[in-house]
Structure 1
Amino acid sequence: MKKIGLLVLIAAIIAGFFYFDLHQLLTLDGLKSGLTQFEEWRSASPVLVTGGFLLLYVAVTALSLPGAVIMTLAAGALFGLVLGTVIVSFASSIGATLAFLASRYLLQSTVQKRFGDRLKAFNEGVEKDGAFYLFTLRLVPVFPFFLINLVMGLTKLRAFTFYWASQLGMLVGTVIYVNAGTQLGQLESLSGILSPSLLFSFVLLGVLPLIAKKIVEIIKARRVYKNFTKPKTFDRNLIVIGGGAGGLVSAYIAAAVKAKVTLIEANKMGGDCLNYGCIPSKALIKSAKVAQQMRHAEKYGLNSAEPTFSFKKVMERVHDVISKIEPHDSVERYTELGVDVVQGYAKLIDPWTVEIQLNDGGTQRLTARSIVLATGARPFVPDLPGLNDVGYYTSDNLWEEFAKFDEPPKRLVVLGGGPIGSELAQSFARLGSNVTQVERATRIMAREDEEVSELVQESMRSDGVTILTSHNAIRCEKEGDVKRLIVEKDGVETVIEFDALLCAVGRQARLEGYGLENLGVETNRNIVTNDYLETLFPNIFAVGDVAGPYQFTHVAAHQAWFAAVNALFGTFKKFRADYRVIPWATFVDPEVARVGLSEQDAKEQGIAYEMVRYGLDDLDRAIAESATAGFVKVLTVPGKDKILGVTIVGEHSGELLAEFVLAMKHGLGLNKILGTIHTYPTWAESNKYAAGEWKRAHTPERILGWVEKYHTWRRG
């Protein structure tokens, strides 16, 4: 009731302010017309007028009423630069703090209770560096004064910290506005507007955001670099640590613009994607798919047959595929491009110096103006009792170890129901393994919509995969040559015997061994970066899996462009990494590809949407290829054809998604896709038909009614 009473009182004051047209007094015309009267009052009662003005300013800012800028100009006109600045500085800070406290009292508990999870990162940032954030916002007058007061009141920032950071941060802007007011107070005609002093004041207002930004950068840089001595000269313009997708693209861009760049890689060039992830898994998936097509050849009018094959040859093909792609990422190719490639383990000594333990022995030290960390990620191995006793495989060692087998494991357990676990579980089942997939969530591929998970799960089970969802792996046991995994659901334990166990429960960033902890580079699950991919040190950048937020090869390459350009040319212009349109695909059968929001995402985030769905069982090409399982699902802004997200399930969905990615990137709606000619008969027509479903759902029935009458009239 106290909160409601306070809200009613504030609302009544604000309503009265506008009802009695008091806001007219806080306009430039009102200021000019009342300037003479104010001068008379100040001359008669200087202390009373000064105190009254200060209290009025406090009230205006505390209630977030419009007119603070005019009152600041008035302070300059009435009291001059020095006294006017003192009055406004204290009055604005006191008023802002009162608004801050009111917001905290009325709204903080409600907002934090309802949106605490979404505000977690923001709250942590404010708790750690709130005063600096606030000071930065106050320096830049483009941020609404009242909005900062209200938003900061919702955080846990201390009131005293809010007060002093506000007063200090607003001081420069206050001086500029008050100085402009001193000139406005002396205007005798419109020609006075062109006075040099007044023009200078407004020029300062225009460039203040740029000045403020530079000041903040200088202060921040001095703070983080204070314990280090910067070299006077540098061996390189850029050093890149890590030879995966992010590192390769960073080095390539630097070499292309003629910068002197060194790329350091301790293991295989090409990183995880080429050697352990994307490429070998897709090669295996293809072999497994052909085997499955042979089993179901009757779908194509052929005689079905159980495939016979050498598992060693299947794995040889996997390695052959890797070897054919290796030259694209090789030391020789990048050396020809102008990159100095060094093979060894890199460690940061200071923000500009890297020490390399060379693979062939010895050490080397190099300095660079900027450094890009592209150290990647490795499979996460759960802390499961007995796991080391029974032995396990991950995507890192799977390809080398399984290549030694004469046949696929008879009984394979896959821990994890995400993309990697699902792809490999289905592939090995199709190659003859008895596969059990264990997932502790209620469904596999939990990041996708429920209907997507169900369709994939149904397909995998038809391939022979035993899927145990809502099961927790609790321990492993070994008795002689017999290996067992014990899982639990609802208090009931189940024993699964296996010959091989594959851990595919996720990946974790490689953060250790690079000297990050010695420099104080902030890490959480990833290296913490800002919008420009800068770490704590503005000259050290991070990209790819080690930086997040997406662990995709194409995102690492995307980030690498921003990091390399910012590292080499950031003195003149910096670019924020753009994550607005990020596609991804999971290469199970049927494939799952997505960009933007899913229905699940939209519901969780409270985003309004409309959904249209086109089933592939209606597509001519899908029918011709007996591959009708799947659909195209598009989310749009209600009443508009603007695309919010797309999910495609079916053959070639990863390729089909590209059209929607292009459309979203460049702001093209479904009408544009519908109006584009698509070759017949192709899978790509499904995109056009999905757009047609949207058009049909938004048919202007009233207009068509009139059109029908027109045609009736035309027939006589």
Structure 2
Amino acid sequence: MDKKKIIILGAVLSLIGLWFAFDLGQFFTLEYAKAQQQALQETINTSPMFSSIVFFAIYVIVTALSLPGAAIMTLLGAALFGFWWSLVLISFASTIGATLAFLFSRFILRDWVQGKFGHRLAPINAGIERDGPFYLFTLRLIPVFPFFLVNLLMGLTPISTKMFYLVSQVGMLAGTMVYINAGTQLGQIDTLSGIVSAPVLISLALLGIFPLIAKAVMGVIQKRRVYAQWEKPTQFDQNMVVIGAGAGGLVSSYIAAAVKAKVTLIERHKMGGDCLNTGCVPSKAIIRAAHTMAEISRANEFGISTGETKVDFKQVMSRIHNVIAKIEPHDSVERYSKLGVNCISGEATILSPWEVEVNGQRMTTRNIVIATGARPLVPGIPGLEAVNYLTSDTIWQLEEQPKRMLVLGGGPIGCELAQSFCRLGTEVTLVEMADQVLIREDSDASELVKNQLVKDGVSLMTSHRASRFESATDESGNTVQRVFLETSQGTEISVEFDVVMLALGRVANVQGFGLEELGITTTERGTVEVNEYLQTKYPNIYAVGDVAGPFQLTHAAAHQAWYAAVNGLFGSIKKFKADYSVLPAATYTSPEVARVGINEKEAQQQGIEFDVTSYGIDDLDRAITDGEDHGFIKVITPKGKDKILGVTIVGYNAGELLAEFTLAMRHGLGLNKILGTVHPYPTMSEATKYTAGVWKQANAPQGLLALAEKYHTWMREGKKKQNSKNALPESDAKAPVESALKEK
């Protein structure tokens, strides 16, 4: 920090220190003003201009130094100077003081903050350069943050000083008028009865409801600003048009039809979207086949002898397509038409915020839901186009089983398919750039999955990156395909394969249907930018599912669809913020990995004080009888409390076991409630109760237990002593017996 900055910073800190050291804040209270009202009023009457200048200067200093007291000074000024003159003084003094604080922050801190955090602040800087005046005006009109904080933070942004001053002068005017009006009324209170007078009550009411009024006004202004270039129809053909018939689109249109809204669903390809046709359904069908093969290989473990087993790959793929066909009616045009949805097959184009075109037909609609999904990411790795590559969309068209498969990506899709094809007899190499598979999971969960992948025969290569592909012809005229992998140490190796499966993530489908023309923005991840109500730039256009993120899960899309449909159809009455606090997810490897809430890794990143409770499923009776005694349940709770913050389960049917914890979290039930619930024996679900039991043991009330121990000791030893006191001495007890013997 240069010398000038040090001097200015020192001067400002000294002034702030003097304020608190001499307790100057005591002079900026209503009580002091009332006590000195007559004297102050006489001074003002005697020297109005001098008094105004002094008040103005003090107000500028208090605001510029971000000292507490500006609100009180506003009320005081109104009480002493009257409405109009105090409005002039305070309006300009507050803006000048705010601008000085803005300049101080800019001069002292902006270069350092932008230099250190510039890459993270880039989106904010871009937003300020584009819409900075509007953002500032909103903050001035609706005091969500204290004004002094707005002054200092805006100094760190690219907004110009001139623009900051002008917007602040106009933006703070309405709020200043409300405060001054309240001050003029408070200044007239001389007795307790004056507190309940109508003018004072009205002024206080205005003070309370002003933020709400300002927020409503800003909403109207923003809406007009967004829709300025579009002409809104006077009437509409539809209440809602949904683009995309995957999970999000199907649920949105179903809800709309259920509440008797007129809704049209447009799908350009297949009803059911990725989940039915290329995702959840076919992948779970092949996992089932692979699981059957793995069970057969374990037959001897259960005392069963089998002959030679053989995989009929064509039959495996045929069953997958039969499963899809069997589920198709659930998502079919026929079913949704019966439910009241107008289903159209074709390419949709959004022409305006209220107009959609499909197959040359234009229709007007009050709301639009974008549910266009995502597609597999195909990276720009050199040579990729020259080799035989597949994605999660195209792998289901295989007719011959690959002998050697390369899988790029160790996320859920990569791990599930790598394990499945390996169990069916394909030589599989799985490559992952990170140092573990399932990078979002805790290392202990990832380790169990890794060990099973290796045990099944997958060649696992973590900390490797595909740098290039090559397709060549060997001496025999056969085509040889290989990938060159770079290790974390910089060395390079090559791996040959017959097909490569790309499992490197998915890209949102945001192009080709009018978003660019409407100026609807996307995030850094390439998804449609939505707010907490799932609204895009245009409040009547919503986005759900993979195209909106942040989760690429079928049930997350359906969850979002409820909010989009309800907010779109009833938002003028009541809107709901999308709630992702309890959203479960499962990876269907063997063992399965299921999670809800935060895991240990995320709790550490968030700086949460937490406890970890673990239960090993190898201790569970039912797991032992089924030969599935592996894995664990791990629960994250706050220190000393039974509230469930997150659960990770690794093991057989982990996704099914997760449901009880998800229910408990959703309805605020802790581990004590789970412990008090009867579970049938012997079942896998008992694992949840035993996990709660482990927590209870670790959090047992030691003080009460000590008292209980003393009570039980007293019950044993105290009564024994009492009985011994009541017993006769040994000599007295023998006397009657001896006397009787003598008589005999």
Report the counterpart of residue 427 of structure 2 in structure 1.
Answer: 434
1:396 pairs, out of 393, 414, 430, with 393
Query: Once the 2 structures are TM-superposed, how far is the Cα of residue 506 of structure 1 from its aligned partner?
Result: 0.6
Q: Is the 8 A contact 1:488 1:494 kept in 2?
A: yes
Q: Match of 2:77, as an amino acid?
A: A
Write the distance in 1 (CA, Å) between the matches of 2:358 and 2:88.
Answer: 56
* Distance verdict in 2 for CA 1:115–1:680, change over 3 Å: farther
Report the counterpart of residue 569 of structure 1 in structure 2.
Answer: 570
* Distance verdict in 2 for CA 1:19–1:545, change over 3 Å: same
Write the distance in 1 (CA, Å) between the matches of 2:129 and 2:641.
Answer: 40
Query: Once the 2 structures are TM-superposed, how far is the Cα of residue 449 of structure 1 from its aligned partner?
Result: 1.2
- Mapping 1:508-547, distance limit 5 Å: 508-524=507-523, 525-547=526-548
Deviations 1:445-471 (A, max 9, x none): 111112222211111011111111122
* Distance verdict in 2 for CA 1:187–1:541, change over 3 Å: same
SS of the counterpart of 1:551?
Answer: coil
Query: Once the 2 structures are TM-superposed, how far is the Cα of residue 13 of structure 1 from its aligned partner?
Result: 4.9
Write the distance in 1 (CA, Å) between the matches of 2:122 and 2:707.
Answer: 55
Deviations 1:502-535 (A, max 9, x none): 1111100001111111111112311111111111
* Distance verdict in 2 for CA 1:498–1:711, change over 3 Å: same
- Mapping 1:304-319, distance limit 5 Å: 307-319=309-321
Query: Once the 2 structures are TM-superposed, how far is the Cα of residue 7 of structure 1 from its aligned partner?
Result: 6.9
Query: Once the 2 structures are TM-superposed, how far is the Cα of residue 268 of structure 1 from its aligned partner?
Result: 0.7
Write the distance in 1 (CA, Å) between the matches of 2:278 and 2:432.
Answer: 22
* Distance verdict in 2 for CA 1:703–1:65, change over 3 Å: farther
Report the counterpart of residue 360 of structure 1 in structure 2.
Answer: none
Q: Is the 8 A contact 1:265 1:345 kept in 2?
A: yes
Write the distance in 1 (CA, Å) between the matches of 2:174 and 2:583.
Answer: 41
Please say if 1:671 is aligned against 2:672: yes
Q: TM-score with structure 2 length normalisation?
A: 0.90
Please say if 1:384 is aligned against 2:381: yes
- Mapping 1:494-643, distance limit 5 Å: 494-524=493-523, 525-643=526-644
* Distance verdict in 2 for CA 1:127–1:609, change over 3 Å: farther
Report the counterpart of residue 417 of structure 2 in structure 1.
Answer: 424
Write the distance in 2 (CA, Å) between the matches of 1:555 and 1:474.
Answer: 34
Query: Once the 2 structures are TM-superposed, how far is the Cα of residue 8 of structure 1 from its aligned partner?
Result: 7.1
Report the counterpart of residue 734 of structure 2 in structure 1.
Answer: none
Query: Once the 2 structures are TM-superposed, how far is the Cα of residue 335 of structure 1 from its aligned partner?
Result: 0.6
1:89 pairs, out of 88, 91, 97, with 91
* Worse-matched range after superposition: 466-475 or 57-66: 57-66
Deviations 1:244-281 (A, max 9, x none): 01111111111111111100001111110111101110
SS of the counterpart of 1:643?
Answer: coil
Please say if 1:192 is aligned against 2:186: no
* Worse-matched range after superposition: 685-694 or 698-707: 698-707
Write the distance in 2 (CA, Å) between the matches of 1:672 and 1:272.
Answer: 38
Report the counterpart of residue 45 of structure 2 in structure 1.
Answer: 43
- Runs of 4 or more, structure 1, over 6 Å off, are 1-9, 109-118
SS of the counterpart of 2:345?
Answer: strand
Query: Once the 2 structures are TM-superposed, how far is the Cα of residue 660 of structure 1 from its aligned partner?
Result: 2.0
Write the distance in 1 (CA, Å) between the matches of 2:239 and 2:575.
Answer: 17
Name stretches of at least 5 consecutive residues in structure 1 with no aligned partner.
Answer: 358-362
Report the counterpart of residue 456 of structure 1 in structure 2.
Answer: 449
Percent identity between matched residues is 57
Aligned residue pairs total 707
* Worse-matched range after superposition: 482-491 or 347-356: 482-491
Query: Once the 2 structures are TM-superposed, how far is the Cα of residue 484 of structure 1 from its aligned partner?
Result: 1.9
* Distance verdict in 2 for CA 1:211–1:559, change over 3 Å: same
Deviations 1:633-654 (A, max 9, x none): 1122223222222111111111
* Worse-matched range after superposition: 376-385 or 672-681: 672-681
Q: Is the 8 A contact 2:30 2:72 kept in 1?
A: yes
Alignment root-mean-square deviation, CA: 2.4
Q: Is the 8 A contact 1:295 1:306 kept in 2?
A: no
Query: Once the 2 structures are TM-superposed, how far is the Cα of residue 588 of structure 1 from its aligned partner?
Result: 0.7
Write the distance in 1 (CA, Å) between the matches of 2:307 and 2:13.
Answer: 79
Write the distance in 2 (CA, Å) between the matches of 1:320 and 1:567.
Answer: 37
Query: Once the 2 structures are TM-superposed, how far is the Cα of residue 39 of structure 1 from its aligned partner?
Result: 0.9
Write the distance in 2 (CA, Å) between the matches of 1:473 and 1:196.
Answer: 76
* Worse-matched range after superposition: 244-253 or 315-324: 315-324
* Distance verdict in 2 for CA 1:142–1:515, change over 3 Å: closer
Write the distance in 2 (CA, Å) between the matches of 1:304 and 1:148.
Answer: 75
Q: Is the 8 A contact 1:351 1:540 kept in 2?
A: yes
* Distance verdict in 2 for CA 1:611–1:255, change over 3 Å: same
Q: Is the 8 A contact 1:295 1:305 kept in 2?
A: no
Q: Is the 8 A contact 2:141 2:214 kept in 1?
A: yes
- Mapping 1:95-114, distance limit 5 Å: 95-103=97-105
Report the counterpart of residue 68 of structure 1 in structure 2.
Answer: 70
Deviations 1:279-315 (A, max 9, x none): 1101110110110011112333333665323211111
2:462 pairs, out of 459, 466, 469, with 469
Q: Match of 1:444, as an amino acid?
A: V
Please say if 1:712 is aligned against 2:710: no
Write the distance in 1 (CA, Å) between the matches of 2:249 and 2:392.
Answer: 21
* Worse-matched range after superposition: 12-21 or 653-662: 12-21
